[in-house]
Amino acid sequence: MTTQRPVATLHRLRAAVLLAGVALALGACNHTRPAPDITGSIPDDYRQRHPIAIQEADQSIAIFVGNGRGGLNAGQRAEIVALGRTWMQEGTGAIVIDMPTQTPNARAAGDSLREIKSLLSATGIPPRGIVVRSYHPTDAQVFAAIRVSYPRITASAGPCGLWPEDLGPSVKNKSYLENTDYWNFGCASQRNLAAMVDNPSDLVQPRPETPAYNPRRTQVLDKYRQGASTATIYPDANKGKISGVGQ
């Protein structure tokens, strides 16, 4: 009895080792894993693929001043005045004037700076809202212009023109196989909408309603109390008609 127990234990150990080897061999047969579906994470809605971002960016203009003439011409004065007026409505920081230094037109630019400040002050910009900085162009091919800029809230989308997958027939092209939109679809529309919107906050929330016109409201309510028609009568409504057909 004492000699049979070690033999039985040895047989059980061999059987366990054999089963473990078979399990490892069967597990090795399924060592390959499916490749991750990269294009599956691409949203089908173009507004999610190319979202419009609300962020702060610079609104800037360039004032080109020659070497021998100081001051601004009529068109440049109009640009400065227009920039000052828009700053009053949408500016989120000070107006920065970058002046060229150590350039052939540096002296003429300095003479133009006084006129620029005068025009900005005339539009209502306080002196503390104007910051003057100096710069020297590192590229000789770039004209040393006076740069006038200010930060504001803008809307932007893109960049467009990205093609992560082919448009033609292919087993790797998910948009072709499933008849869905390709990646660049809708990017130009989103980018144009962001460029044309007047107030970027309109893309996030509606504007509040303006107050009612009280004189007109009072007149309509008076007619209603008297039992008269509240419709507006336009005496010259038919003045431009050339025919009475349909009346």
Report all structural domains of the chain as residue ranges with CATH numbers, in order of start: 41-50+160-196 (no CATH), 55-156 (3.30.1330.60)
- Position 236 confidence tier, pLDDT thresholds 50, 70, 90: confident
pTM of the model as a whole: 0.60
How confident is the model over 174-202, as a mean pLDDT? Answer: 86
Find the angle CA(9)-CA(13)-CA(19) to the nearest 5 degrees. 145
**pLDDT tens digits, 63-118:** 999 888 778 999 999 999 999 999 998 999 999 999 999 898 899 999 999 999 99
Residue that wins the pLDDT comparison between 229 and 68: 229
- For CA atoms 176, 179, 183, 184, the dihedral sign is positive
User: Residue 155: is its pLDDT beyond 90?
Assistant: yes
CA distances from 68 to 63, 99, 107, 219 (A): 15, 16, 9, 65
How confident is the model over 129-154, as a mean pLDDT? Answer: 89
Best mean pLDDT range from 24-28, 42-46, 71-75: 71-75
Written as one letter, the residue type at 183 is W
- CB burial of residue 80 (10 Å; 0-12, 13-18, 19+): buried
How confident is the model over 35-57, as a mean pLDDT? Answer: 74
Residue 2, pLDDT score: 47
User: Residue 205: is its pLDDT beyond 60?
Assistant: yes
Q: Are 163 and 113 in contact (CB under 8 A)?
A: no
Residue 143, pLDDT score: 82
Residue 95, pLDDT score: 96
User: Residue 166: is its pLDDT beyond 70?
Assistant: yes
User: Residue 23: is its pLDDT beyond 50?
Assistant: yes
CA distances from 176 to 136, 182, 188 (A): 52, 8, 21
How confident is the model over 45-72, as a mean pLDDT? Answer: 89
- Strands (DSSP E) contained in 70-226 are 95-100, 130-135, 146-156
- Position 35 confidence tier, pLDDT thresholds 50, 70, 90: very low
d(CA 89, CA 190): 25
How confident is the model over 123-135, as a mean pLDDT? Answer: 94
DSSP one-letter code for 207: P
Residues 6+ apart with CB under 8 A from 141: none
At how many degrees (to 10) do helices 74-90 and 106-122 cross?
50
How confident is the model over 163-189, as a mean pLDDT? Answer: 80
How confident is the model over 132-143, as a mean pLDDT? Answer: 84
Residue 131, pLDDT score: 96
One DSSP character per residue, 50-101 reads: SPPEEEEEEEEEEE---SS--S--HHHHHHHHHHHHHHHHHB-S-EEEEEE-
How confident is the model over 201-227, as a mean pLDDT? Answer: 89
Residue 177, pLDDT score: 74
Token reading at 67: 């070497």
Dihedral (C-alpha) 8, 10, 15, 20: value to the nearest 10 degrees? 150
- Position 1 confidence tier, pLDDT thresholds 50, 70, 90: very low
Written as one letter, the residue type at 176 is Y
Residue 28, pLDDT score: 53
* Coil, strand or helix at 47: helix
Measured in residues, the chain has a length of 247
- For CA atoms 127, 129, 130, 131, the dihedral sign is positive
